[in-house]
Chains A and B, each alone.
Chain A
Amino acid sequence: DQQVKQNSPSLSVQEGRISILNCDYTNSMFDYFLWYKKYPAEGPTFLISISSIKDKNEDGRFTVFLNKSAKHLSLHIVPSQPGDSAVYFCAASARANKFYFGSGTKLNVKP
């Protein structure tokens, strides 16, 4: 059973608007979370991380929010750009640097 789930396989957003990608997890021991972006024929690229001692982390156009009580995190991209079109994975870790990945959400940003 997957411990990290991304329930939306795809998302389409207009350029300039906000993209919100969601991720749910089941293991309450997870305390460190990552978001990755993946273009076709490339490996995943690290975007942003958040530790469970925080509920928000911001890096430029990317903000990750963590709701521990709901076991939910989300990635906000504002404003969205066509170059953001990719598959986005969330990943979570409980112990050490061993991560469990979600199945990904394919984001399409339309010009």
Chain B
Amino acid sequence: DTEVTQTPKHLVMGMTNKKSLKCEQHMGHRAMYWYKQKAKKPPELMFVYSYEKLSINESVPSRFSPECPNSSLLNLHLHALQPEDSALYLCASSPSGLAEKNEQFFGPGTRLTVL
């Protein structure tokens, strides 16, 4: 298995809802990432887990809560989001932990719309 999967593909939620995004990889990668991408903008890093520990939080608002239950799974819990949080949320993984530089493998993303 050489891919990163993300579910759901699309999500529409109200500002009072609680939802979760899921990301999975079975390549034995040790680092996993959440990015946010708005239209015609570059992906922006949100969180990095390295060896299942949160290593980077790019000052993301607390309404986004990441979780890494095991080395293959990464969740992003969403609560009380704002319409401006509507974006494509990309998950990625890389073979080594955060300390080593290597390419990241991306999932197809979850298109989130907040009403």
Contact = CB atoms under 8 A, between A and B. Distances in A.
Nearest to A49: B103
B40 A45 contact: no
Contacts of A44: 43, 90, 106
Interface string B72-115: 00000000000000000010101011111111111111000000
Interface residues of B, number: 28
A63 interface: no
A98 B103 contact: no
B45 A97 contact: no
Interface of B: 4, 6, 31, 40-45, 48, 56, 90, 92, 94, 96-109
Interface of A: 2, 4, 9, 32, 34, 36, 41-46, 49, 51, 89, 93, 96-104
6 contacts: A9-B40, A49-B103, A97-B94, A97-B97, A98-B56, A103-B40
